[in-house]
Amino acid sequence: MPTWAKLASAIVVGLAVALWLAQLVQARIGAAVVDGLAARARQEPASARAGQSLEQLPAPVRRYLEHALPADRRGLRLARYEQTGTLRTDPLRYAWMPFTASQVIGPEATEFVWTARASIAPLLHVQVRDSLIGGRGAGQVALLSALPVASAGGNLEMNSGALHRFLAEAVWCPSALLPSQHLSWAPVDDQRAVATLTSGSTTVSLEFRFNADNEVSGIYTPARWGSFGGGYRQVAWEGLFRNYSRRQGVWVPGEGEVGWIIDGQWRSVWRGTIVSATLEFR
């Protein structure tokens, strides 16, 4: 083999090893974040709210929780969901990327970690990790699950945006929507109510919309922080949920879709389907 070929081969092997090591580092970092969330969720003291009466809640919330919670009203300690779907990073463009994802939610701790692998081209993908840990919202994108290319977290906009997301996705952990010192409900009408959630110094509110089957059919806020054109601004945000089924006694949606309302038009940016679920109860 010519010297130049040997050199090229050595470079390729070296790059492959470096990529593998970088992927290993990112995987360990992600595993540590998830393991930390799970440990805190399992140590979180049992909430008194899980067994309380629902009579004082707005009527659509009461009907929904009576239907969604397991028969014994046990609270969820930890939830793990595997997802598949499509997403796009810009609501004004139509470059949808297929993804697979794993989400871990600690309902009582108000924490989540969402780790997704999104295909951006043949043989090319990015890993996206979004989280809310200890009231701090954060996000990271790593090319080939190895090379970080973008990250942000800890500012007001990220903290608030992540808390809004946690509240919306509490439909996959209904016991997180029971009233507590951190969460309260206010009635709107017979099909809508507003939930207000506080985590640390951040408070958000979200309108929940209920259908005739006593399910959460959608959520809405006129102002959620998001990143647009390199900067943050508050934009109306709406989500839809459908295809409910009972998983380990809990009534949860099998599909969801969220998007931003820009210039009066709802523009979807995430469409997901639940592939599997593992729920841990108190």
For the chain, domains (ranges, CATH) are 3-281 (2.50.20.10)
Q: What is the pLDDT of residues 168-208, one digit of tens each?
A: 999 999 999 999 999 999 999 999 999 999 999 999 999 99
Task: Supply the pLDDT for residue 217.
Answer: 98
Where does the pLDDT of residue 83 fall: very low under 50, low under 70, confident under 90, or very high at 90 and above?
very high
Q: What is the pLDDT of residues 218-252, one digit of tens each?
A: 999 999 999 888 889 999 999 999 999 999 999 99
Residues 252-263: what's their mean pLDDT?
A: 97
Task: Supply the pLDDT for residue 69.
Answer: 94
Q: What is the 3-state secondary structure (H, E, C) of 101-153?
A: EEEEEECCCCEEEEEEEEEEECCEEEEEEEEEECCEEEEEEEECCCEEEEEEE
Structure tokens given for 15: 């790059």
Where does the pLDDT of residue 5 fall: very low under 50, low under 70, confident under 90, or very high at 90 and above?
low
Task: Supply the pLDDT for residue 146.
Answer: 74
